[in-house]
């Protein structure tokens, strides 16, 4: 069960998700949870937004920024992921979402329960901007979900990404 924490750090790099998908201000896109593997050697940062226990359950929400390696000035060099994790006595719950590509990430914050803000040079070519990640449904599912003994179960709810 402790390998789930490692799985958040060893997610399979999937770069195709957002590179080239441009959202207009106020436009929304959705993402489903996926199995992702990242080499710990390429981790740029891990920001823990939530780490709390209630009713015998632990809930963690993290934003992971991964380096995609050297590139030209016109290609993003970072990939952003949202990781949801609930460690329980007999089972673990996981949700991993590919948020998209970025040139840089300057701030990551929790605005409210299940609502997060990521700011930097995101999505659009070298243009500072913010996106709001609405993961309320996925976080609520994680809080109420149960699965068999000694199993790892994945969230089924999608998250929404809103360009500000």
Express each pLDDT in 74-108 by its tens digit.
Answer: 778 889 999 999 887 778 889 999 998 888 899 99
CB 141 within 8 A of CB 157: yes
Report the percentage of the chain scoring pLDDT > 70: 80
CB-count burial class (<10 Å; 0-12, 13-18, 19+) for 9:
middle
Q: Give, in degrees to the nearest 5, the angle at Cα 162 between 104 and 153.
A: 90
- Give the CA distances from residue 43 to residues 1, 28, 68, 110, 148, in Å, rounded to whole numbers and listed in that order: 22, 27, 9, 21, 32
Work out the pLDDT band at 5, boundaries 50, 70, 90.
very low
Q: Please check whether residue 151 is in contact with residue 91, taking contact to mean a CB–CB distance below 8 angstroms.
A: yes
Residues in Cβ contact with 94 at an 8 Å cutoff, skipping those fewer than 6 apart: 4, 7, 8, 33, 83, 84, 85, 86, 152, 153, 154, 155
What does the pLDDT look like over 37-82, one tens digit per residue?
888 899 999 999 999 987 778 899 999 999 988 766 677 888 999 9
> By three-state DSSP, how is residue 74 classified?
coil
Which pLDDT score, from 0 to 100, does residue 75 have?
A: 77
Calpha distance 26→47 (Å, rounded): 25
Report the predicted TM-score, pTM, of the whole model to 2 decimal places.
Answer: 0.80
| Whole-number pLDDT of residue 136 | 96
Residue that is written with structure tokens 């929304």 in the block? 28
Rounded alpha-carbon distances, angstroms, from residue 116 to 6, 40, 45, 93, 126: 23, 24, 16, 20, 22
């Amino acid at each position: 069960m402790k390998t789930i924490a490692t799985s958040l750090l060893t997610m399979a790099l999937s770069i195709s998700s957002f590179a080239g998908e441009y959202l207009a201000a106020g436009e929304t896109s959705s993402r489903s949870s996926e199995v992702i593997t990242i080499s710990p050697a390429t981790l740029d940062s891990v920001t823990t937004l939530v780490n709390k226990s209630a009713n015998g359950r632990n809930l963690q929400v993290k934003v992971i920024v991964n380096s995609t390696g050297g590139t030209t000035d016109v290609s993003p060099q970072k990939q952003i992921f949202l990781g949801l994790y609930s460690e329980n006595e007999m089972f673990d719950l996981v949700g991993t979402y590919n948020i998209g590509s970025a040139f840089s990430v300057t701030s990551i914050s929790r605005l409210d329960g299940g609502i997060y803000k990521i700011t930097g040079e995101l999505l659009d070519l070298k243009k500072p901007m913010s996106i709001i990640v609405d993961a309320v449904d996925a976080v609520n599912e994680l809080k109420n979900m149960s699965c068999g003994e000694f199993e790892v179960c994945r969230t089924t709810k999608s998250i929404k990404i809103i360009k500000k």
